[in-house]
Amino acid sequence: MTFAAYETVKGRGEHEIVIQKSRFIAFFDRVETEEAAQAFIEKVKKEHWNAAHNCSAYLIGERDEIQKANDDGEPSGTAGVPMLEVLKKRGLKDTVVVVTRYFGGIKLGAGGLIRAYGGAVSEGLNAVGVVRRSLMIIVHTEIDYHWLGKVEYALRESSYTLKGIEYLEMVDVQAYVAVGEVEVFEKWMTNVTNGQAVLKRGDETYLEEDVE
């Protein structure tokens, strides 16, 4: 599914917290299908078969069309749902999380469990990282070499992102341009080069930027 822009987990990662001697390890991954989410959950469960619980949650789709939460034996509503709520609150898409608990001998009660599982996901996201993915078109600006300095400077001073430069018969300057801004970019670049550039639209791709 193609989104214009969305936020998701940076990639596969994990983060551990300890609460009242219990270890809570949050495992994250980016997924685009329910099958991929289930496969990731099963992988974590297999690796941590001896843990007390492997609770999970995931959100998939532009409008969160697919969302699931699983308490894996913890009291109903104390693990999977709080985990899912953290993903929703952060506005994440296409994200799966498993929180593995190794019981430390002290019962936390319903409120304590909700805080622990939610906290494990929240702290885990801060540690693993979140990115904003924006759908871009790579626009190629082909120019004679004497235009390179002016074009590169104009791009670096603009809101557009320079992807790279290829030194061929003509110089190919590549920029990431948001899907809805291509025509505006082309007019701007035509103006920068006094109409001396050959502009070509390339592939669609996502540009990822870290979210603080």
How does pLDDT run across 50-102, given as a tens digit for each residue? 999 999 999 999 889 999 999 999 999 999 999 999 999 999 999 999 999 99
Pair type for strands 171-178 and 130-143: antiparallel
Tell the burial category of 55 from Cβ atoms under 10 Å away from its Cβ (0-12, 13-18, 19+): buried
How does pLDDT run across 178-209, given as a tens digit for each residue? 988 999 999 999 999 999 999 999 999 999 99
Q: What is the mean pLDDT of the chain?
A: 96
The amino acid occupying position 18 is: V
pLDDT at residue 111 is higher than 70:
yes
User: In angstroms, what CA-CA distances link 208 with 107, 108, 132?
Assistant: 41, 39, 6
Domains of the chain: 5-128 (3.30.230.30), 132-211 (3.30.70.240)
User: For the chain, how are helix, strand and coil distributed in percent, rounded to 5?
Assistant: 35, 40, 25
